[in-house]
Chain A
Amino acid sequence: MLDWLTDPFASDLMRRALAEVLILALACGPLGVWVLLYRQSYAAESLSHAMLPGLVIAALVGAPLLLGAVGGVLAAAVAIALASRDERLGGDAAVAVAIAGLFGLGALLALSPDVPARLGELLFGDLLGVTGSDLVEAAVLAGGVAVALVLGHRRLALSVFDRTAAPSLGARPGRWELVLLVLLAICTAAAVRGLGNLLVVALILAPAAAALNLVARLPVALGLATALAGLAGTLGLLVSYHWEVAAGASVALAAVGVFALSLFAPAVRHP
C-alpha cells in the first residue's frame, strides 16, 4: 500500500506535478470558500472562458502567455463588476453579458493564422509538463492570493455577512466584491499552466463546497478546504499514474469525488 502511494513520486516529473497541485491548493481551497459564500461560483466558471482573448492577444504580439491570461481575466473581472452595478441586469445576467462578449472577442482573434498551437495546451493544462519556472510563477501568484485572503479575511466576512452594516464596521462591500473577483482571476491565471483554466474551477469550488458541508465555522472551513484541495490534487495524481489517465482531469474528478463524499455527512450549513 505504501509503495502504491510513494512509487509515483519517485520521478522529478511527478514530484513537480505534486508541488504544483499543492501550491494551487493553498489558494484554491480558501478562495473557493469565499467564492461560494459570495455566491460567485458562476463567475468562477465564466472567468476561465474570459481568459481567451488575453491569451490570444499575448500569443499574437509575442508576449508571455501567462501575462495574457492575467490581463484577460482581470479585464473580465472588471467587466463583470461594472456590469453587475447595472440594476437592470441580475448578477448572473451581468456575468453572462460580460463573458459572452469577451469569449466572442477571443474566438474572433483566435481565427488569426498567426496564433500558435501552444494556446490549446494552455487552455487544457499540462500538469506533467510543469517546469521549475512554472512552479515559481504559480507559487508567486497563488501565494499572493493566499496572503491577500488572510489579510482581507475580516473585510470579506463583513461585506458578505452584513452588507448594510459593513460600512459602519469598516468594510466597503462593493470594493471587496471586486477584490474577490480579481483574486479569482489571479488564481485562475496561476493554474493555467498546470491544470488549465477550465479544470481549475473544480479545484476551486468542489473542496470548498465539501468543507462548507462538513463544518460550521469559517476559519475551520477555510483550513479544511485547503486540505481537501491538496488531498484531491494528490489523489488525482495517484489515480493518473496507476491507471494511466490524464493528470489534470484526474485531479478535477478527485475534487468532485471529495465533494460527493461530503454529501453523505450531516448538513451543517443551514440552521
Chain B
Amino acid sequence: MRIADVAGGYAPGAEVLRGVTFALEPGTIAAVLGPNGGGKTTLFRALLGELAFRTGTVELDGRPAYVPQTDRTRLDFPVSALDVVLMGAYGRTPAWRRIARADRQAARAALGRVGLEDVARKRFGALSGGQRQRVLIARALLQDSRVLLLDEPLSGVDTASAVRIETVFDELRAEGRILLVATHDVEQARRWDRVVCLNGEQVAFGRPAEVLTTDVLRRTYGPELVVLAGGEQAVAVDHHRH
C-alpha cells in the first residue's frame, strides 16, 4: 500500500488534507491519529475512492473494507446480526442471485471469529455497542479485503469487546493484511506497528517509538493536547461528539 503526496477535499480549491505520503507493508497495523477535523475521515475517503477532489497517487491491493463507528448505522433497521455480516458479500453477488452458500458459511465463521456466533439471529439494534462494533468488523472480514480501514473501533466499547477486537487485529496482521485504525488513544497507538499523525496535513509517519514524541503530538493536536506531569506522557483529549 503506497500513498504519495495525496491531497484533497470536498470542493475544488478547498483542501481538507494535503501532503500525505507513506507506505505500509502487508501485515501492518497503523494508527491514524489526529484531532477532530484533522483529516482522518478524509484520508479514509481518499483511500476508498470517494473523495470528490483528490490529487496524488494511491496504490492499493484491491478495494479496502471500511468499518464505521457503530452509531453511524440505523439501529431501528429490521436486520439480524447475521444479516449485517452478509452485507459484506453484497458487492460480489449479482442482484438476481442468492447469496452463495460459501458466503453464508463464511459469514457465520466471521461472527464466530469475533465471538458472536450465539447472537447471529438477534436484532442488530438490540446488541450492545461493543457487540455491534464486532458485527461490523465481521462484515469487513466477509469482504475479505487486503486493506481494512477502521474508524475508532475501540471507542466506547466494553472491555470484553475491546479484547476480542484487538485479538482479531493481531490475527489479521498475521494473515498479512493491512489495518489503518483511526483513534484518539495515543497509548493504543504505541502498541501498533506504525502511526500516521494528521492535522490538515501529514505531521509525521513512522514507528510509534520514534514518532510519538510530545513535540509531534503537540503539532498534531495543538490545544487538545494535555502533557502530564514530568513531560514524559501526553494525552489527546477526545472532544469527539456525534
Q: Which B82-106 residues have C-beta < 8 A from chain A? A: 83-84, 87-88, 90-91, 93, 95-96
Contact between B93 and A162, CB atoms less than 8 A apart = no
Is B221 part of the binding interface, using a Cβ–Cβ cutoff of 8 Å? no
Which residues of the other chain, A, contact B77 by a CB distance below 8 angstroms? Answer: 37, 157, 160-161, 218
Residue of B nearest to A148 (CB): B95
- Which bucket holds chain A's interface residue count? 20 to 34
Contact between B65 and A162, CB atoms less than 8 A apart = no
Contact between B95 and A152, CB atoms less than 8 A apart = yes
Contact between A161 and B90, CB atoms less than 8 A apart = no
Residue of A nearest to B151 (CB): A164
Cβ-defined partner of B87 (8 Å) among A151, A158, A221? A158
Is B74 part of the binding interface, using a Cβ–Cβ cutoff of 8 Å? yes
Cβ-defined partner of A168 (8 Å) among B64, B96, B123, B125? B64
Contact between B67 and A165, CB atoms less than 8 A apart = yes
Which residues of the other chain, B, contact A160 by a CB distance below 8 angstroms? Answer: 74, 77
B94 to chain A, nearest CB (A): 9
Q: How far is the CA of A161 from the CA of B80 in the complex (A)?
A: 12
Contact between B90 and A158, CB atoms less than 8 A apart = yes
What is the total number of residues of chain B having a CB less than 8 Å from a CB of chain A? 33
Contact between B48 and A218, CB atoms less than 8 A apart = no
- Identify the interface centre among A157, A165, A216, A270: most chain B CB within 10 Å of its CB: A165
A226 to chain B, nearest CB (A): 15
A74 to chain B, nearest CB (A): 23
Contact flags A139-177 to B (C-beta < 8 A → 1, else 0)? 000000000000111110110111111011111000000
Which residues of the other chain, A, contact B83 by a CB distance below 8 angstroms? Answer: 217-218
A149 to chain B, nearest CB (A): 11
| A217 and B79 contact, Cβ closer than 8 Å, known pairs A164-B68, A168-B63 | yes
Residue of B nearest to A215 (CB): B78
Which residues of the other chain, B, contact A167 by a CB distance below 8 angstroms? Answer: 48, 50
| A162 and B78 contact, Cβ closer than 8 Å, known pairs A168-B48, A169-B87, A169-B90 | no
Which residues of the other chain, A, contact B136 by a CB distance below 8 angstroms? Answer: 165
In the complex, given contacts A154-B95, A216-B78, A218-B79, what are 7 additional A-B residue pairs having Cβ atoms less than 8 angstroms apart?
A157-B77, A161-B79, A164-B68, A170-B90, A217-B80, A269-B76, A270-B125
